[in-house]
Amino acid sequence: MDKKSRVLNILKAIWGVAVVAGGIYYVVKNYSTAIQYLSSINAVKLLLCALLIIVVRVQNVELVQQSLVLVGWKPNFKNAFSFVSISQLGKYIPGGVWQFFARFEAYKEANITYKNMGKAFIVENVWLVAGSFFVSLAFLLLSRPIELLAKYGFSMDARLYPVLGASALLLWLITVAVSELVIRGKGAALPLGRTLYIFASQSVLWILYGISFFCLFSQTGTLNDLFFTIGAFGLSFLAGYVIVIAPGGLGVREAVAVLLFSLMFSSSEIGIYTIVHRLLYTLVEFLLAGVALTLTPKKKLAAETPVSEDK
């Protein structure tokens, strides 16, 4: 083993220890109060919430796969699941970007050029941010949040809500199409079927994410409440995601949720729901990472056919 390989192995070991330590600290420090709340929520609702979170995390693997297709590589699901599930634990280390540095090694082993790595990371994050924003905004508007807007000094003609909601979804579709064309390069044709697939699959991701939070509510709300929850909780996730200095968006997501759900719940009640959901979300992520490590104990996580060099 050469000196470079030894250094990389040491760095991997340090990263692994940091992730495990950060994860343990994260749970013990922030979720000790959540344990007492778990008994107050129906076990079936907790199970359904956890299952939906698992589906959402699996769909996130599909997002990464599709971003890599644009640069000429599509890892099989097992490999993609492994490096995504393991690398995403890096967000629990303060700084919020370590998950991408961890992914770097898997891409490097697949012989993806640095330029194409950058393209894949960019389009992945464009889809994630734009999808969460436009889909969440659409459902928030479709719920007609008249009272919430009035509370913060805004008003709008009721007839505009469905129009603006549909417009948000259209902008999301346009964003997917434009990102495809930009990454593919000048003169490339737009693959309509693929574009619609990404639009639909990632829209479903954010819908299921909101439903997973809705499952925790003590009382079943109306369809309007469900739409509002999908929108408001998606926006709270986005706020936590873009504030990278907070590990896993801790604190930011909860603060935004309290503001948006202020007319549905008291701040203490919504605080309980967000803490319990975050606890389940974190446990699911560590569970999936454990499964990924079991699936590929001694293999390279990205052993696929090399891609061509940049033009």
Q: How confident is the model over 74-86, as pLDDT tens digits? A: 888 888 898 888 8
Tokens 């941010």 locate to 129
Number of domains in the chain: 1
In a domain, residue 194? The reply is yes
Looking at the domain assignment, is residue 10 inside a domain?
Answer: no
CA pair distance 5, 27, nearest whole angstrom:
33
**86 in a structural domain:** yes
Residue 306: the pLDDT is 41
Residue with tokens 């000094």: 153
Predicted local confidence at residue 71, as pLDDT: 86
70 Cβ neighbours under 8 A, 6+ residues apart: 119, 120, 123, 180, 183, 184
DSSP 8-class letter at 272: H
Point out the residues of the chain with pLDDT beneath 70.
Answer: 1-40, 92-99, 102, 220, 244-251, 296-311
- Within a domain: 310: no
Give the SS3 label for residue 201. Answer: helix
Residues 6+ apart with CB under 8 A from 85: 57, 61, 285, 288, 289, 291, 292
Please check whether residue 76 lies inside any domain of the structure.
yes
Which structural domain, as residue segments, surrounds residue 227? 42-295
Query: Is residue 301 in a domain?
Result: no
Domain annotation covers residue 164: yes
